[in-house]
Amino acid sequence: MTTSFFNGISGLKSFQSGINIWGDNIANINTTAFKESIPEFSTIFAKNLSSSPISSDVGLGSMLDASAKNMQMGSLINTDKTFDLALDKEGWFEVKKGDENFYTRDGRFSRDANGYLVNDEGAYLIVANANNLLKTQNGYIVNTSINTDNLTKTGTFSPISLPNNVILPAVPTTEIKIKANLNNNDKLTNPAPSDGDLYFSALYDKDGNFLNMVDGNSIAYTLGDNITYSNGLFQKEICIGNDVKDGKDVNFDFSVNGKEIKLTLPDGSTKEEITNALANALKENGILYQINDNGIVIEAQNALVINSNDDYVKNAAGFLFVYKNNPTLPNQFNTLNSLASKMQDALNLIYPNDTKVSVEEGKIVVDNISDDTIESKFIKTQNNNETFFKNIYSAGNVILPHTAAKSYQFSANEQSFGGYIYEANGNKDDISFRFFKKEVTADNTIWRGEISISNNGNIISQNNFDFVFNNEGFLISPQNITLTSPQNITIQTNLSAFRGVDNKISYSFNQNGVEEGYLKDYEINQLGDIFANFSNDKSVKLATIPVYHFVNDQGLESVGGSLFKETSNSNKAFLYEDAKGNYLPGSNIHSHMLETSNVQMTQAMTELIINQKAFSAAAKTVTTSDEMIQRAINMVRG
């Protein structure tokens, strides 16, 4: 009979524990990442009645055998806090409280007064710390020299402080990479004025049409009294007639290409006498000539300069200017500036101190600074370039006193790009790349590159380089160039000069410098990397939050709330790694999210009611047993 007491009392104890456990589960239904406990009961012991004709057990009550943890993940909910974290699969955060380390899935972290990430109980979140924040008198700066790759191997496992006043120091630019296609079409829609130093082989006319100048193209330039050019010869006709007797001798005093012709004939000499005498004088000086009905025609191939001190011959000159990529002779030119110089030299011979030849916005300008009229003109040659002639001919003209004659504008193929660099002191400088098609040869096209660095409009450095492309438009040299001001900067050039690109120019610019930045905020990605974001749009990794795993999560010891300790049954915490030893979290970490409790209210309430009913039944068993014993005692007494 007393066995019933044991059954009832053990039931009371067991179901009281069950009520306590399910009540605790219900009480923590809103506790972040709480894992419910499930009570498990067993019989205290059983005795087999051997005297019974059938197999029979006598149970002597029940007991709480275990309280198992339900490790199923709770739901994830969104929050507005950066340091609210949730794991979407298995795994645990590590926290440190006092001298002990614990594990939790409760990701409610915030910064304490010193910036450390802690939970609601003040336990520090343990991270793989890069230790790349250096404290200064005015706050913290980032040590950018520290490698932040695979911090679970290279970092320090410790709490981390995330201060408010952090500066990302400037990193000077040491490397630039540019990629561009220089439009090499024969027709430009937006040509730029030539600066005078570009070769005519690379220039365009005023309408943007390519000149196509080649070695040997030429033009004749004549000055002064009428002089012609035909069949490769300059010709100056000297008209001769019978001298009228006037008491004066016939005097010739002039020079042809520096050779003096001085001749005196008697007053009243005939046309034939004068012609023959003059012809003999020219012949003696090796000067080419022809006799015609009007008199004598003096001839020369490349230049004919006649300076006169008499009344029969007037000053006149003719020059053959020949285009050459590499000029070696006095009459050869390759650029606007060199042609303007040739023209100035020619004008000085016939109109000394009366002219000024200059290059202005791609035009050759001839200024008449005298009170006399200047006569000049351009004439086509057998090696004429028609496009070039049309663009230059207006610079040869009858120029009235104090006026000017100008060619049309010669235009250049200019491509301009821009970017920026950073100095060691944090200054942000502008860098510009201007490319001009400079020269076209039979084998190559050469572009001049002007690289200029400035700050607030003030030029810091300016460098010129020649970039050589083959006929297919591929860069031959240089592949890399180095600037020395304001610091050493290597520029990797990935350039091309292709035709047929519809005037579309591709360009990309990259540099490795970083301007000074001020902390904007912190963020945490799904790998658990903690980044500091700065005002210069740069982000720096400060730490990685490790996600720990256990062989047996059920073996963890609950120490209250959402904290657990490792045990011999759970084994040591470990991190996942791939075959190369790289850290793998095994679970994504979600910022601005929390994991809810995994307690199901309907199940918990049902279990609580069952345990309460069972407790009541056990209590009734004790009461009934007591009444039965009292009756038995009374029966004995009676």
Domain end among 406, 439, 454 = 406
String of DSSP letters for 410-470 = PEE-EEEEEEEEE-TTS-EEEEEEEEEEEEE-SSEEEEEEEEEEEETTEEEEEEEEEEEEE
Residue 64 binned pLDDT confidence (cut-offs 50, 70, 90): low
The residue-averaged pLDDT of 486-508 equals: 84
Both 229 and 357 in one domain: the answer is: yes
Q: Which two tokens stand for residue 106?
A: 């409760």
What pLDDT sits at residue 349?
A: 96
The residue-averaged pLDDT of 290-310 equals: 96
Both 301 and 398 in one domain: the answer is: yes
Q: How many domains does the chain have?
A: 4
CATH code of the domain in which 479 resides: 2.60.98.20
The residue-averaged pLDDT of 439-447 equals: 95
Does 4 have pLDDT greater than 80?
A: no
Both 499 and 525 in one domain: the answer is: no
Residue type, 194: S
What pLDDT sits at residue 55?
A: 46
Residue 197 lies in a domain: no
Residue 194 lies in a domain: no
Domain end among 484, 511, 538 = 511
pLDDT digits (tens, 9 = 90+) for 338-359: 999 999 999 999 999 999 999 9
Question: Of 96-100, 416-420, 560-564, 597-601, which gets the smallest average pLDDT?
Answer: 597-601
Residue 222 lies in a domain: yes
Both 461 and 548 in one domain: the answer is: no
Contact 312, 329 (CB under 8 A): no
Residue 20 lies in a domain: yes
Query: Of all residues in the chain, what percent carry a pLDDT higher than 90?
Result: 75
Residue 22 lies in a domain: yes
Both 349 and 267 in one domain: the answer is: yes
The continuous run of DSSP H or E covering 31 comes out as: none
What's the chain's average pLDDT? 89
Both 373 and 279 in one domain: the answer is: yes
| Domain around 16 | 2-72+598-637
Both 131 and 271 in one domain: the answer is: no
Both 386 and 270 in one domain: the answer is: yes
Does 268 have pLDDT greater than 70?
A: yes
Both 366 and 234 in one domain: the answer is: yes
pLDDT digits (tens, 9 = 90+) for 113-140: 999 999 988 999 999 999 999 999 989 9
Query: Of all residues in the chain, what percent carry a pLDDT higher than 70?
Result: 84
User: 218 vs 29, which has greater pLDDT?
Assistant: 218
Does 295 have pLDDT greater than 70?
A: yes
What pLDDT sits at residue 40?
A: 61
Residue 68 lies in a domain: yes
- Write down how long the chain is: 638
Residue 195 lies in a domain: no
Both 215 and 354 in one domain: the answer is: yes
The continuous run of DSSP H or E covering 48 comes out as: strand 46-48
Residue 196 lies in a domain: no
Domain end among 368, 388, 406 = 406
Both 525 and 611 in one domain: the answer is: no
CA distance 323 to 389: 12
Both 254 and 335 in one domain: the answer is: yes
pLDDT digits (tens, 9 = 90+) for 367-399: 999 999 999 999 999 999 999 999 999 999 999
